[in-house]
Amino acid sequence: MVQGQRNFQIVFGVVVVIGAVFLASKLLGGKPVSIPANAVVTVADTAGFRGYVIGDPNAPVEIVEYVDFECIVCANWEQVQWPTVKASLIDNGKVLWRVRDYPLEMHRHPRVASHAVACANDQGKVWEATDEMFRTQQNDWSLVADPMPGLKEAMKAVGVDVPTWTTCMESAKYAGRIQASVEEGGRLGVDGTPTFIIGGRRYDGRLSSDAMVQLVDSLIAMKKQTPTTP
């Protein structure tokens, strides 16, 4: 009888431990997520997708931004300069803005962050998700070993369906698309973030919103002065 009680206590203890581990894994983010670097790029990874786009498709100027969503300089630029850029260049139809991934391997979770944005984009929440990720970057997910709990909270805060988003993250289905963007940026000489391609020229993150507005206005003025071929 004593031996039976002891066996029961051992089994019960094991069950409790397993249950605690399972519960902790759920509370702390569930299944670990890893997005492979140097993924093989297929035609399907790039077909019909050239970044996240905002603005008038017929705008006279296109700006491409290469961004690492874990980059603190990118976060600062987005929080300080972006509101002026959006109001002065995008909302009034001067610029079509295109965002491309350029995860920097010097960071802890750059490809996970890029993939988080891709999965949020599936639900039409790309801009809300990036804003929240930049806002919470240094406090909630970029400096910890497992970014998933903090990223899930960011997604929940902006109305993303988290279980669907988590399934997307675990699939790593956008790894090739992210790699394609990295390779494209490399061909253009991108070596840091944020980097902007404006009028066929490359500019780094030191470009202020005021300087960007002046640059775009000058490009538009030049286009108006250039005679069209009959």
Check whether residue 184 and residue 217 sit in a common domain.
yes
Inside any domain, residue 230: no
Ramachandran area for residue 195 (φ above 0: left; ψ -120 to 50: alpha; else beta)? beta
Spell out the per-residue pLDDT of the chain, length 230, in tens. Answer: 455 555 444 444 434 433 433 333 444 446 678 898 888 899 888 888 889 999 999 999 999 999 999 999 999 999 999 999 999 999 999 999 999 999 999 999 999 999 999 999 999 999 999 999 999 998 889 999 999 999 999 999 999 999 999 999 999 999 999 999 999 999 999 999 999 999 999 999 999 999 999 999 999 999 888 766 55
Check if the beta carbon of residue 113 is closer than 8 Å to that of residue 144: no
Check whether residue 25 and residue 134 sit in a common domain.
no
Inside any domain, residue 56: yes
Inside any domain, residue 46: yes
At 11 the three-state DSSP class reads helix
Distance between start and end Cα atoms, the chain: 101
Check whether residue 4 and residue 62 sit in a common domain.
no
Range of the domain at 169: 34-225
Check whether residue 82 and residue 179 sit in a common domain.
yes
Pick from 69, 89, 61, 82: nearest CA to 220: 61
Check whether residue 63 and residue 118 sit in a common domain.
yes
At 5 the three-state DSSP class reads helix
- Whether the model pTM is above 0.95: no
Check whether residue 9 and residue 49 sit in a common domain.
no
Domain tally, the chain? 2
**Chain centre distance of CA 133:** 8
**Chain centre distance of CA 27:** 23
